[in-house]
Homo-oligomer: A and B are copies of this chain.
Amino acid sequence: MTPANPLPKLTLVLGGARSGKSRHAEALVEAQAAPWVYVATAQAFDTEMEARIAEHRARRPEGWITRDAPLELPEAVIAGPAGAPILVDCLTLWVTNLILAQRDVAAAGEALLAACRAVPGPVVLVSNEVGLGIVPDNALARRFRDEAGRLHQRLASEADSVLFMVAGLPMRVK
């Protein structure tokens, strides 16, 4: 059965904290035929993060195949099942993990794009927009902000659809 609103090949959902990014992205994927693949980049370092992960997980209905990929995201994207819609949540945590592991973020971004192109189904990437506040005091936060911003630009240039979430509502950027 063809879904009412087929997803384009690559969708990028950007937005601030608690802007409804994950919920909107999940709704986009769940409008397609199951099964759906959920690739989680979060690593629980503390109880606050554990609670956030648990809250996200509890919200998702049956039909989701969940896969953890704090670092090896391209591999998780191509792991199948073939043709299943894929949701990656979220790229900002992935960038954090890459920086902490001293990986090349730009090269990893290209590998992610190649993986998105290699799979037959649609991919939805969720990421936090973090560059709209005052310049952070510490150099690591500035580096993270720069790497995330550059990755967003690169992915947005290749994406078929780019959404900017405000208060749970999508604004179409592309």
What is the oligomeric copy number?
A: 3
A-B contact pairs, 23 of them (CB 8 A): A14-B166, A16-B130, A16-B131, A17-B135, A17-B146, A18-B131, A18-B149, A18-B150, A18-B153, A19-B131, A19-B153, A48-B142, A129-B132, A129-B166, A132-B132, A132-B133, A134-B136, A152-B168, A155-B167, A156-B168, A162-B169, A167-B173, A169-B174
Contact A171 B164 (CB under 8 A): yes
Shortest Cβ distance from residue A26 to the other chain B in the assembled complex, whole angstroms? 14
Q: Decide if A20 is an interface residue (CB 8 Å cutoff).
A: yes
Contact B16 A129 (CB under 8 A): yes
Contact of A169 with B145 at beta-carbon distance under 8 Å, contacts A134-B133, A135-B130 already known: no
Q: Decide if A141 is an interface residue (CB 8 Å cutoff).
A: yes
Chain A contact residues, CB within 8 Å of chain B: 12, 14-20, 48, 129-136, 139, 141-142, 144-146, 148-150, 152-153, 155-157, 162, 164, 166-169, 171, 173-174
Given contacts A18-B131, A130-B135, A156-B166, list 5 more A-B pairs with CB under 8 A.
A132-B132, A133-B136, A153-B167, A153-B168, A157-B168
